[in-house]
Every structure is written in structure tokens, then in C-alpha cells.
Structure 1
Amino acid sequence: MQLSRFTDLGLRALMRLAISDRAQERVTAKLIARQVNASENYVAKAVSRLAELGYVESLRGRTGGIFLTPAGRSTTLGRIVRDLEGDTEVVECQGVNPCPLASACRLRGVLAQAQRAFYAELDNFTLADLVDRRTVELLHLPVFPGMALVDD
């Protein structure tokens, strides 16, 4: 299973925001795009969706920026990925070109079981589990006192 580029950028944006201190730093889609080596337009679309889902707050203006919400900090990665990917099946058995094996095939069930296991594993983690001092160093950011980071 491969995550979409949209989900990848959404997760990168959340990871970047997870190491931000709202009082110390103004983070924008442009900054995130530069730091995670992605298109500003794609990052902005991902951030917009994350805001709709309640994982980030986006404020306009001179003192604005993008900020991680408490829900963004505490929600599991499994829930975030489900929300960004849409909880759809791994394979499309019906549709425009339906599979002739669909009525007797067990592949669909096996893939659905694997997908549930994938999400169940991601449900064991939050953003805090993904970022550490090395993440901060790679982004060339200062470490602020009280920053909640996983030790290496």
C-alpha cells in the first residue's frame, strides 16, 4: 500500500508543526514547503484539509501562521491517515471495469484485513512519536526550552 502524495505532505506538515513553538515562531505553508522540499501549492492544499479536519489552525495576517491544535497533537497517525486518504478499499473490484473474478475472489478480503492491520499499527503512534532532536536539527531550527521531543 502506498500513501498518496497529499497524505505524505499532510504528515510532513504536521511533523513540522509538532516541533514549533507558537509563541516563538511563525510557520507558513511557504516555510513548510521549503523545509520539506515540496510545492507550496500542494502543502497549502494539505494544510487547508488539515484545518478542515481540526488538526491545524490557520490564521491570516501579520501575526498569523499555521499552528497545530490539541487534536493534531493527540490524534493517532492511523486516524490522520484515514482522514487524509479516505477509508477506501485497497483495490477497486467494481466500477467502470469490474473484475470478472470478484464473485469468487478472496484477494479483496485479504487486502482489507491487511489494511486494517496497517491502520491498527499506525493507531499506536501520535506525532510526538515521529519527531525528535534530529528532526529539529535537519530543519535547522533552534530547540526551545520545554519543547516536547522524543529522545533519540
Structure 2
Amino acid sequence: MQLTRFTDIGLRVLMRLAADDVEHLHTSRGLAEELDVPYAHVAKVVSRLAEIGVVHARRGRTGGLMITELGRTARVGWVTRQLEGDSEVVDCDGPTPCPLRAGCALRGALARAQRAFYDSLDALTVADLIVAGPTRVRFLSGPELPTAPAPTPCGPGRAAMPVATDENRNP
């Protein structure tokens, strides 16, 4: 199953807002720049997130965005359902109905798969998504974390020599 761009941005915005330990105000424009997504998309997503109560948005000179307590404790599956809607994975009864729909088992299988998808996301809260790993560190510290050097190719029976870095050199 593939999520819409709208939901993707919505989850990113929530994760970013949840990464702050204190009640820090953000702007839609600032989030758009930080997450590298168009401002218009972020503005629409923030409007929906505020509508469902996971983000508090205040307009004006002293305004900004911050995550609500519901936003931190909300189940990811619930948030995803709110952003995606309850539509089926495939539209068998659309403008051109599928001629196989009467005896097809695919529709039921896809509905079960969709429920399982959301159920697996319900095991996590928004806060769970940012507690561990580099996401929290990156947002709170700013610059990207260094990545490990790529392994060097070795022939059979030969080990790679350790690469000297600033972290493993003796003073």
C-alpha cells in the first residue's frame, strides 16, 4: 500500500513538531523549508492536522504551530486514517465498474491487507517515531550526522584495512 503525499507530509510535520522537548513554536514556512516540501502543501496539511486536534495553530505575529498532547500520544494508524480517508485500496464500483467484481476475492483480500496495515501502525504513537534513532538528533542538533565510510572491496581471504578517522586516532 502506498500513502499519499499529503499523509507523508502530515506524518513528517508531526514527527518534526514532536522532536522538540519544549513548547517550541514553528511556522508552516519554516517547516516547509526544513522538510524540503512546498509551502502550499505544508499549509494544507497543517490545516487538516489542526482540524483533527493533533496540532495547535495560532495565527498572527505571536502565532505558530506546536504539537498537542493528543498529537504526541496519537496512534500512527489513527493519524494515517484521518489523513488518508477510509477509501478502499481499489475502486471496483467506480465510473467503469470491474466486470469481475461479483465473484472476485481480491477486494476482500485487499481490505484485510489494508486493515492489517493500519493495525500495525496503531502499535506506534507519534512520540515513538522520534524517541530513538538519528531523527531526534538531527532535528535538535542541526547538521546531518556523518555516515560511515563505504566498505572497501576485498578479494577472497583478504580483510579490509581499518580506515583511520579523527574518532579512532590516538591523541
TM-score band, normalised by shorter chain: 0.7 to 0.9
Per-residue CA distance 1:50-77 (angstroms, 9 max, x = gap): 0011110101122211011111111100
- Alignment correspondent of 2:101: 102
Gaps of 5+ in 1: 143-152
Q: Which residue of 2 aligns with 1:148?
A: none
1:82 to 2:81 alignment: yes
Unaligned runs of 5+ in 2: 143-171
Number of residue pairs aligned between Structure 1 and Structure 2? 141
Contact 2:28 2:46 (8 Å CA) reproduced:
yes
1:24-80 deviation digits (Å, cap 9, x = unpaired) = x33111111111110011011000000011110101122211011111111100000
The offset of 1:90, in angstroms, is 0.4
> What SS class does the counterpart of residue 43 from structure 1 fall into?
helix
The residue number in structure 1 matching 2:72 is: 73
Residue 21 of structure 1 deviates from its aligned partner by 4.3
Query: What SS does the aligned partner of 2:103 have?
Result: coil
Paired with 2:21 and 2:39, the residues of 1 have a C-alpha distance of: 21
Q: Helix, strand or coil for the counterpart of 1:130?
A: helix
Aligned residue number for residue 38 of structure 2:
39
Please provide the CA RMSD for this pair.
1.5
3-state SS of the aligned residue for 1:112?
Answer: helix
SS at match of 1:71: helix
* 1:8 corresponds to: 8
- Partners of 1:34 and 1:7 in 2: CA distance: 18
Q: Distance in 2 between matches of 1:129 and 1:73?
A: 9
Pair 1:130 & 2:129 matched: yes
In the TM superposition, what is the alpha-carbon distance from 1:112 to its structure 2 partner? 0.4
Distance (whole Å) between structure 2 residues aligned to residue 61 and residue 22 of structure 1 = 21
CA radius of gyration, larger in: 2
Q: TM-score, with normalisation over the residues of structure 2?
A: 0.78
Q: Give, in whole Å, the separation in 2 of the partners of 1:43 and 1:6.
A: 9
**Matched-pair contact (CA < 8 Å) for 1:22–1:67:** no
Give 1:22 deviation, angstroms: 4.7
Q: Which amino acid aligns with 2:10?
A: G
- 1:38 maps to a residue whose letter is V
- SS of equivalent to 2:90: coil
Matched letter for residue 134 of structure 1 = P
Q: For residues 136 and 113 of structure 1, what CA distance do their matches in structure 2 show? A: 34
Give the Cα–Cα distance (whole angstroms) in 2 for the partners of residues 141 and 49 of structure 1. Answer: 29
